[in-house]
Structure formats: C-alpha cells, structure tokens
Amino acid sequence: MARFRHQEASSSTSSPSPCCYDVFLSFRGKDTRKNFTDHLYTACVEKGFNTFRDDEELERGADIKPELKKAIQQSRSSVIVFSKDYSSSRWCLDELVFILEQKRISEHVVLPVFYDVDPSHVRNQTGCVAEAFARHEENQLSKNKVKQWRAALREVADLSGMVLQNDADGYESRFIMQIVKVIDNKLSRTPFAIAPYPIGIDSRVENINSWLQDGSADVGILLINGVGGIGKTTLAKFAYNVNFRRFERSCFLEDVREVSNQPNGLVHLQIQFLHHIMSGREVKIHSVSEGIKRIRDAIISKTVLLVLDDVDHMDQIDAIFFMQDWFCPGSKIIITTRCAGLLRGHQVAKSKVYDVETLDVDESLQLFSWHAFGQDRPIEGYISLSKRVEDRCGGLPLALQVLGSSLSGRRIDVWESTLEKLKTIPDNEIIKKLRISYDALQDNPDDQNLFLHIACFFVGQGKDYVVRILDGCNFFTIVGIENLVNRCLVTIDDEDNVKMHQMIWDMGREIVRLESKSPGKRSRLWRDKDSFDVLKEKSVRKIFLSGWDFSCTCIYPCWLLIQLFFFSGYRNN
C-alpha cells in the first residue's frame, strides 16, 4: 500500500472527441436568449458545469455551423429549451436532429425543457408546432428534411423532460434550480474513465480522499510520486472523479511534461486551465505573463481543485508555489510526478507527498489474470506461467496490463518463449514508458552513465561499496545516486543496499544492449553470451591492456572477462 507522508527536509535531495463541456444549451435565441436561457446558463455555470451556448445573435447559414456540431460532440449532455418559436427555426431543428444522433451513438444525455410550449404539441405536432411546419412546407423545403424534423420532435417529446407549469407552477427561478439538479443527477459528474480493472485503487486512494475532504482552509498541495507505470495518473483521476463536485471549480491538466515542451506549450496549458475554471468559455491569451494575470483574476474568489499530471521540471513546481497564495482558501492542488526531489527546502512545509507502491502478489496476479483471461484468476494449465509473469513484473500495473493483453489467447509454448525472451529483451511498450525518467537526465550524462553502471553491475550491492568503486572511477556517486532515487530509478533499502525495480533494471540493460549494436559502443558486458563473443574476437591480454585505464566502463568488462576466461578454460579441461 502507498505511504502518505509530510515531505521531509532531507528529501530535497480516430478516437472519440474529448468532452470539453458538461452541458450544451439548444434554444431559440429570439425567444429566450436574454431571459430564461440566460438565467439557466448562469445557474449552470454557478453550479460548476462547463456550459456551451451559441452567442451568435444573427441567423446562421443554411446548415448547422461546424463549430456547433463540434460543441455538441464535445458535450456530455444537451438541454433543449422548447419555446413557442423553437420549431419555426430550421437551424434549431437541425441542431435537434444532430443532438439525437449523438444520443444514439454515445452516452450523450438529452434533457428536453418545455418552457413555453405544451409537450403534447411537440409530440403530436399540433398548436404552435403545427403552425411552424405549415410555414416550412410553404417554403417548399425538402420533404425528407421535414420528415426528419417531425421524427426528431416525436422522439425528444417521448424522453423524460421537464415542464415549467407542471414542475414549478410557473416559477422560473424554482424551475431553473430543479433543471440544474436534474442535470447534476443525470451526469453523475465523473469526467474521467478509469482503468477497466481498478485493482487496488480503493485502498490506495483512501488517504488522498481524506486529504481532499479534510475541510482545511489552507491551500493544500499534494505530490503523488512513483515510478512510471505504477498508476499515479489513474489514482489522480479516481480521486478527481470522487471529489471535484466539492469544489466550485475544477481542472485536470494531463501530460504537463509533454505539452510544456511543445511550442507555446505553457500558454496552451494556461488556456486549458482558464477554459475549465471559466466554465468552458473560449479563452485567448498571447503570452505567459498575460496568462498569469488572467489566472490570478479567475481563481481568487472560487475554491478550486487543480490536478497537474506528469510534472517533471523545477520551474513548473516553482510556478505552482508562486500561485499558491492566489487560490481561494480551501482549494487543493495535486501534482503527479516521477521526481519528488523537485521540491525545494522552502516548499517542504507546505506540501505532502504520497508515495505510490507496487501491487502485492495477490493484486498483481488478479490484475494480470483479468487482462490475460478475462477473469480474476489464471485458467487451468497457465497458473505457474502466470506466476512467473507476475514475478517478472514486480507489481508494476503497466507491465501486468501490457503483458496480460499480449499473452491473452496464446498457446503455452508462446508463453514460455515470451518469458525466455523477456530475460534478454523486455517488452518495447513497457520500456518506452519507463525510459522517460532516464531520458529526463539527458542534461546530466554522468547520472545516465551511473544508472547504466548500477543496472549492469551493482544492483543488490551495498551503497558504501558502490560509492567506493564508482568514486574511484571519477563519479560523484553520492549525489548521483540521490538524483536517481529522486527520479524513481533507484531505491535504497533498509539495509542500505542499492535496489532497482525489475522493470527498471530490464530497461537499463536494454539501453546497454541497444548501444552495443553500434560500432565501438560495447562498453558494458553483463551477459555471458556477450562476454564470450568478445573473447572470440580478441585475446584477453589485448582486452585487458587496452581496457585497464580505471574508467568504470572498462574495469567491470575486464574483470568479468578474466573470470569467464578462467571459467571457460576450467570447463574445457
């Protein structure tokens, strides 16, 4: 189970469209734009719904505008305000048809609101609706189009809707409050889909939920820290789904590291943040400094839940603490990172750190089984193989999911061959995810080399021993190991031994294996096969004399080769 702690001073060392809006308002502007719909929009915004309404006062073109179609596709629900002249507008009727199409192909929620029209008139196309269609037919509109509109009106009238006279006795303010409550219940307001098999999440998110619900008047900051693929983002999304309704505004910014590295990435993140905080309104800013001012003005009077996913740079952390005093008391900020060591000394007292730990054996086997077999335990004949895969994955959810899915439906001999291959060549999808932490050290090649040396030769060795050897090879080993610990690439156990997660270990050795394919790049030999290959190419004496220069890239290859030379000779005798 993950640990929840105060940060200590010593630690300073063609997919579906994303849902941008909760509610899309469909209405006849001439009837209700400046009265009922305006009040409804305001109530939705105050409730915290990201709400879209078309502010264009002029009549639209012959067809529904592309941006309106996109807004409907990116909305989780539509509220259709039926007024006397709604059916008179062909643009409103086209909008209605498209909304119902979205309902049929997705989980789009539709709520009809009968503001100034009888539902029976909509269903049976009588009264004001009949008059509107008589005018459409006089204008010689396409018969197929009129037929489509009529069918849409009958369909929407059969949905569970709300009627001003029935639900609130004609009192508009009470009616609007009831509409907002119904929307809230229908949406159930969970914006993020969680992994299909959330094994172990409930116990791991418990402390995060307690922190989010503690009622503190402070602006709290929490770092969710852990190795890549361990489930930091999943935990953050789960906690966000459960708690964001407690706040007046909320925002989850994904992939901060990746987005911030793009051209104008910080400006784009600011626009995303303001878009959510300002209830879905379109925001235009042109510089980081302009964005800072807009953000300060937007968050100063509302409690906010902000999640920043995958933060990896000191400047990003500094910016968050710089803004901390702007947030309204009671706001909470969650940061997911692979590098808890980003915190500086002056930030220590103002934050908490949640260390996400790997799954235990039972949880690991259960997660793997769901992905491999579609049930919570291995099927007969695959039990021992499944346990070998679970042991190889070391409780890392990403690895369990990837390998479970890739082995699903395969024969036993394929499983056995895959396990043998994994001993030498790890799964590429897993390595790609884990390598992000290693690549983040590209400005410090000494730390990258230190990591590769440890992966090849020193895992399980005492820290003092490792420091003594590598300091003799011109490394600043103590600070280098601390940097690797902060990046979740290395751990130091209770007995002061240098350890590495199995998948991180595999990743380091895979980097070395790939490097060795380049001419002149064979700098570390950790596999028997590679060592014997080198022995075949050169004599031990030549290798020893050319390599013994006390650089760490040569000491251990030479040491290993000498051992293998004598072992090989002994075996041949």
pLDDT for the residue 10: 35
Largest CA distance in the chain: 106
State the CB neighbour count (10 A cutoff) for residue 121: 21
The pLDDT score that the predictor gives to residue 326 is 87
pLDDT of residue 529: 65
Question: What tens digit of pLDDT does each residue of 212-251 get?
Answer: 998 888 888 899 988 888 889 999 998 998 888 788 888 8
The predicted structure's pLDDT at residue 526: 62
pLDDT for res 60: 47
Residue 54 pLDDT: 81
Which pLDDT does position 56 carry in this prediction?
Answer: 53
Both tokens assigned to 156: 């929407």
Distance from the Cα of residue 143 to its chain's centroid: 48
**CA 356 – CA 397 distance, rounded (Å):** 11
Q: How many CB atoms lie within 10 A of CB 495?
A: 8
Supply the pLDDT for residue 381: 92
Indicate the pairing of strand 249-253 with strand 304-311: parallel
| Residues in a beta bridge with 111 | 79
Q: Extract the tokens encoding 320.
A: 């968050």
122 contacts 153 by C-beta, under 8 angstroms: yes
Residues 305 and 332 sit within 8 Å (Cβ to Cβ):
yes
- What secondary structure does DSSP assign to 249-271, as a single string? EEEEE--HHHHHTSTTHHHHHHH
**Per-residue pLDDT at 13:** 33
> Which positions are annotated as active-site residues?
95
The first and second tokens of residue 389, run together, are 């895969």
**Ramachandran region of residue 279, left (φ > 0), alpha (ψ -120 to 50) or beta?**
left
CB 63 within 8 A of CB 92: no
Q: Is 64 helix (H, G, I), strand (E, B) or coil?
A: coil
* Residue ranges, the chain, pLDDT below 70: 1-19, 55-64, 140-141, 188-191, 279-280, 343-349, 517-523, 525-573
CB 59 within 8 A of CB 85: no
Coil/strand/helix, residue 498 = strand
Predicted local confidence at residue 385, as pLDDT: 94
Judge contact between 113 and 161, C-beta under 8 A: yes
Q: Which residues contact 205 (CB under 8 A, 6 or more apart)?
A: 235, 238, 239, 242
For residue 254, give the nearest of 202, 306, 327, 328 by alpha carbon: 306
**pLDDT tens digits, one per residue of 368-404:** 999 899 888 999 999 999 999 999 888 989 889 888 8
CB-count burial class (<10 Å; 0-12, 13-18, 19+) for 352: middle
Neighbouring-strand partners of residue 21: 75
Q: What is the pTM of this model?
A: 0.61
Crossing angle for the helix pair 528-537 and 552-572, nearest 10 degrees? 90
